[in-house]
Amino acid sequence: MLQYKEFQSTSEAGNGEKPVSSSQAIAEKAIIRFQGGYNCAQSVLLTLYEHTDTEGKNELIPKIAAGFGGGIGRCGSVCGALTGSVMAVGIKYGTNETGVEKRAKAYAHAKTLYKQFEKQHGTVLCRDLIKLDLSNPEEAAKARQEKVFEKICANLIKTVIENFLELENK
């Protein structure tokens, strides 16, 4: 399993370090939204939506992702950041038409994101990633106190953004 470190903005690098890539900038935008109060799923979905559909605003985004934070309603299930990226797959590759064949590309990309995340982190479950049960008020308070969201979740958001953008470029 990967070791986590607290997210640090690369846009503040300076001192001759490498310039920020577009994927880094997009990931940072999502992390800033997360740190500003959106949950993990909302941050990822809103940022990837803006990246893939620059035409305008959709009133359902990020609202539609509100219940997915903390592994679906803080139940510790599938990571909200991963869920947000899968919702973005639906926006980019999904369809309003019926038939499995019409959804094939979205299914394939969603599966790739899921498997890649699982391989990178050893699990897709929020409770196992952060090692706390957010449905328990004491453990949720501990997560805030120990800055789990800044140390772990911000890096998970970065991972899913990078994975989505990599997939998009294939």
Percent of the chain with pLDDT over 90: 80
Is residue 12 included in any domain, yes or no? no
Is residue 87 included in any domain, yes or no? yes
Is residue 60 included in any domain, yes or no? yes
Global pTM value? 0.87
Tens-place pLDDT, residues 17-48: 444 569 999 999 999 999 999 999 999 999 99
Is residue 9 included in any domain, yes or no? no
Q: What is the domain count for the chain?
A: 1
Q: Which two tokens stand for residue 71?
A: 């592994």
Residue 56 domain boundaries: 18-168
Mean pLDDT of 140-144: 97
Report which of 148, 162, 61, 58 is spatially closest to residue 113, judged by C-alpha positions: 162
CB count within 10 Å of CB 170 equals 6
Give me the phi and psi of 72, to 5 degrees please. Answer: 70, 95
Is residue 27 included in any domain, yes or no? yes
